[in-house]
Amino acid sequence: MLIYAHRGLSARYPENTLLAFRHALATGADGIELDVHLTADKVPVVIHDRDVKRTTNGSGVVDQVALAHLQSFDAGEGQRVPTLAAVLDLVADHVHLDVEIKGKDIAHEVLTVLDQYPSARWAISSFDWATLRQIRRLTAAAELWPLADRSDNDLFAIATELGAPAVSLFSGAYTPATAAAFSDAGLRVVAWTVNDVREAERVRGLGAYALCTDVPDRIIASGQTARRGQPPVLARE
């Protein structure tokens, strides 16, 4: 089972910042999950909420703020809201990325940035399945993971429509019955957000392909990982 650092090592460092991503790499995580919005001047940036208030000392909504103004805000411990390109510069050669699209009508801009990193390994996920359909129309090559908080016929249908190899599913909806259904459909499951070792053991026992966690260091230390070898050297910011 692969371990994805949810918004970086977000239990210890400001989420979705270069600091959190650097330390996620140092844990030996297999992947990093991050969230993308578009600024007013059409730059993909890595931040979870449309409203910046929760994670920065600023105010406003991302799509109504220009990048320069957005990056004047403190995102915690002196960090700034990074661009998607800056995050890729840091991590693209080290781990797989789960790029969750949060904003509307940003597929083209996100793909344009991703295309500038041919060695990067990534999948795009979203709760907004219309966005995933838009991406599929733009490219047949993108790996798409529909996000869902429950397992139902609609999830299986969109996965089939998109040609998705995996779904990203709330761990509480991953049960013996749903695990069997996903297996029968040939779909891998990425379970989120798993911060408890016992829950990690449970989803691994059901056959989860990966899990997403705020505490990758703790989950990896518990042995719930298929990763081999030593963690990478802490990347430079």
- Domains plus CATH for the chain? 2-36+95-221 (3.20.20.190)
| Coil, helix or strand at residue 23 | helix
State the average pLDDT for the chain.
Answer: 95
Contact criterion met (CB below 8 Å) for 75 and 17: yes
- pLDDT band of residue 229 (cuts 50, 70, 90) is very low
pLDDT at 200 over 90: yes
Contact criterion met (CB below 8 Å) for 204 and 214: no
- pLDDT band of residue 226 (cuts 50, 70, 90) is low
The reported pLDDT for the residue numbered 225 is 67
What percent of the chain is modeled with pLDDT above 90? 93
pTM given for the model? 0.94
**Integer Cα distance of 8 and 128 in angstroms:** 22
User: Which of 33-47, 141-155, 211-225 is least confident?
Assistant: 211-225
Contact criterion met (CB below 8 Å) for 63 and 42: no
CA-angle at 95, arms to 157 and 216, nearest 5°: 85
HEC per residue, 163-219: CCCEEEEEHHHCCHHHHHHHHHCCCEEEEECCCCHHHHHHHHHHCCCEEEECCHHHH
Q: Average pLDDT for residues 183-191, to the nearest whole number?
A: 98
pLDDT digits (tens, 9 = 90+) for 132-176: 999 999 999 999 999 999 999 999 999 999 999 999 999 999 999
Burial of 13 (0-12, 13-18, 19+ CB in 10 A): buried
Neighbours of 66 (CB within 10 A): 13
- Report the chain's C-alpha Rg in angstroms: 17
pLDDT at 1 over 80: yes
Burial of 169 (0-12, 13-18, 19+ CB in 10 A): buried
**Integer Cα distance of 24 and 144 in angstroms:** 23
Q: Average pLDDT for residues 200-223, to the nearest whole number?
A: 97
The pair of structure tokens assigned to 38 is 């578009």
- pLDDT band of residue 104 (cuts 50, 70, 90) is confident
State the catalytic residues.
6, 48
